[in-house]
Structure formats: structure tokens, C-alpha cells
Structure 1
Amino acid sequence: MSTRSRAVLLSAVAAVAALTLSACGGGISGGGGDTNFVTGKNGIDTVPEGKRVAAPDLSGKTLDGKRLDVAGYKGDVVVLNFWGSWCGPCREEAQYFAKVSKQYQDKGVRFVGVNTRDTSLTPAVAFEKEQQLTYPSLYDPAGKLMLRFAKGTLNPQLIPSTLIIDRHGKLAARALEALDDTALLKMLKPVLAEK
């Protein structure tokens, strides 16, 4: 093998390794300019109340074929989790989302999943059943809902991504990594405490 061939091969291996380390999949590049959000030491991006932007239209069919429009949850805080059945970190965090969703179901908090890049309903439905997720998930195999978020906002960029939408339908917080219950509650509680 020539030196040039080795260099090309090593570059390709390095590129694959970098993609593998960036959560489950490549994301949509966001940020740039004055975004009004701050990344805390815990990796959670937050936006102060007066600087938030409205969440985009997040509506469609759920995994069980029902129609869901997240805007209908205005008045409640919404935890929006982008996941795929094929995603290892999504499997790790699902138990925590199931637990916290049950703890907060009567406290003005709604959980909504967005299943993406599953080309069939079968693995997505099996994932929900296996993980005991009782909240609805929008079915978005092509990732079109992810693309509705404006660049420079708290947009989902990776799988998994979690966003918190405040009671006014505005984007308040985002995490671009798998979360346990402690990290999820660190995102949720400050927004839930707002008047």
C-alpha cells in the first residue's frame, strides 16, 4: 500500500470515528451570530424568558396513527424528545423519560416524543412498548420536524435531543445528549417554576 493510500485510509477512518462519537447521528448545524442562548456547565442551553422564540409547528401523526399538534399543549410545559429506536443513547435515556413523565403528569408537564429516521413503524412501536413510554410520539421518519426549527434557535441537532417548551409555546432549554433523570429535571424545573 502506498503512502498516499494509507493517508487516505487513515483520513477516512478518522472521519468515521468523529461521526460515531457525535451521538447517534449527524445533525443540523445551528448557532452562529447572536443566538440569545447560553450553554451552562452541564451542557444545557437556556434562553432567558424575554428572549425566547416560538416553537415551530410540530404537528403530525403519532406512532399509533392519531393526530397531534404540540401547540395544543400551550399553557403546559412541554418536554420534547427526539429519538430513534436504532439509537443506543436513546435506549439508555428512555427509562428516565418514562419515570419523570409519570412523576410530572399531573403537574402541568406534557411529554412528547419525536421518532425520527425509523423507516418503519414496527421498531418504533416496539421501542415505546419495551421502554414503557406512555406519552405520544410523533412519527417523523424523514426528520422534517427537525428542519422546522430556525437556524440560531434551540434547534435539535442530534439524536437524541431534548427541548423544553415553556407555557407560552416558546423554546426555553435544550440538551444535545442523552439525559438521566437528574439532568432532565435540571432542565425542566426552572421552566416549570416560571409564572
Structure 2
Amino acid sequence: MAGCTSADGGSGDAASDVAGAGYVAGDGSVETWAAADRGAAVDLSGVSYDSEDIDLADLRGQVVVVNFWYANCPPCRKEAPDLAELSEQYEPDGVRFLGVNHIDAPGTAQAFERRFAIPYPSLHDSESAGVAAMQGVVPLRAMPTTVVLDREGRVAARILGLAERSVLSTLIAETLEE
């Protein structure tokens, strides 16, 4: 992934990213897919940092927002409060949020979740299954990346980089209206 890596092409681990401090983040660009143009449902399952088994197949019938993040990524920290608020705002409408973190150790990820009062689970994606699940469906070119899945589990929209609250809210509302 291109985003939140050091400008010198650092290793991608949190320590080198912080040391490099030359972040290459996504530009916030949004891509959407018409329902007729969407591919197959995303197949992703794993265990959360709270040891909860999570399978996107169990969430079919609901709109799901999947956010790829890690704790030392500046735009990930900036968007976290908005994501937490949006998850609570849309929960009564049946929208579910899921974080995916393939970089952080459990303690680091849980500290981030506590600091930003994240009310939804994040997969401890130590083997990058979440990233692999999106390849061929929707490329993840930056961290953070936020993906909105329709009720059938197919990718309806993607935001590369920081998810602006109003933009993500619009994408969620449009997907709910389908």
C-alpha cells in the first residue's frame, strides 16, 4: 500500500513510518460502482482484537463500512473520531463498521481503539487476509482506505486516504437507499 509509508519507501512498520515522517497518503479520492457493475461479495473473516470471530458473510443484508488503518498513520488518527460517530449514527439503520489492521500488535491497536473510543471491532489481520480479500476487487493503494459494501457484500464505494465525514456519510446513505 502506498499510503502512510515513509517517503524513502520504508519498511511499512509503524516504527519506521514514524521515524521517516514523510507520509504518502491517499488523496481522498472516491470511486463508486453502480449496482450492476459490482463484482462478487468480499470474502473476509478473522478474529478481532477482542477475540471475537467475525465473518463478513454473517453481515449480508446490512451495509458494511470496512476501514483499513493502523495506529501510527496520521490520517487514520484524524478520521477515527468521525468514523466512531458515524458508526453510532448509522447503527440504528443496520449499518455495521469493521476495522482491519494488518500492522499493529494487539496492545497498540487496542490503545488506539480506547483513545478514540472506537465502538466497532477491528480484525487483527496479522496475515493480511483483509488486504488479500480486496485485491482483484478494489485495490488498496493507501492507508487509510475505507470501503462501503452493499447489502450483498459487494464493493459499492471506496475512499483512498482520509475519509471525510460528509463524503462517507453520503456514500453510506446512498448505499442504504438501494
TM-score, normalising length: structure 1? 0.76
Deviations along 1:85-122, whole A, 9 cap, x unmatched?
A: 1111100000000011111111020001111211x100
1:14-60 Cα offsets, whole Å, 9 max, x none, are: x628x944228xxxxxxxxxxxxxxxxx7210111011012332101
- Root-mean-square deviation (Å): 2.1
1: CA distance, partners of 2:140 / 2:56: 16
Percentage of identical aligned residues? 37
SS of the counterpart of 1:169? coil
Which segment is superposed worse, 170-179 or 135-144?
A: 135-144
- Preserved contact between residue 79 and residue 112 of structure 1 (Cα < 8 Å): yes
Distance in 1, matches of 2:42 and 2:84, equals 25
Contact persistence 2:84–2:117 (CA under 8 A): yes
Partner amino acid for 2:114? Answer: K
Match of 1:164 in 2: 148
State the secondary structure of the residue aligned to 1:145: helix
Deviates more, 1:175-184 or 1:68-77: 175-184
Deviation of the 1:180 alpha carbon: 2.5
What amino acid does structure 2 have at the position aligned with 1:189? A
Q: How does 1:1-195 map to 2 (within 5 A)?
A: 16=8, 20-23=22-25, 43-118=29-104, 120-151=105-136, 153-194=137-178
Aligned-partner SS, 2:111? helix
Q: In the alignment, residue 94 of structure 1 is paired with which amino acid?
A: A
Distance 1:59 1:71 in 2: 8
2:169 counterpart letter in structure 1: L
Counterpart in the other structure of 1:12:
none
Cα 1:127–1:21 shift into 2, 3 Å: closer
Hey, what's the Cα distance between the residues in 2 that align with 1:187 and 1:16?
A: 34
Matches of 2:127 and 2:103 in 1, distance apart?
6
Instruction: State the AA in 1 paired with 2:177.
Output: A
C-alpha displacement of 1:145:
1.6
Q: Which has the larger radius of gyration?
A: 1
For these two proteins, the number of residue pairs brought into alignment is 161
Structure 2: distance between partners of 1:178 and 1:188: 16
Q: Provide the C-alpha distance between the structure 2 equivalents of 1:43 and 1:114, rounded to a whole number of angstroms.
A: 20
Q: Distance in 1 between matches of 2:160 and 2:135?
A: 16
Query: How far is 1:139 from its partner?
Result: 0.6
The residue type equivalent to 2:155 in the other structure is: L
TM, length-normalised to structure 2: 0.83
| Inter-partner Cα distance in structure 1 for 2:61 and 2:42 | 16
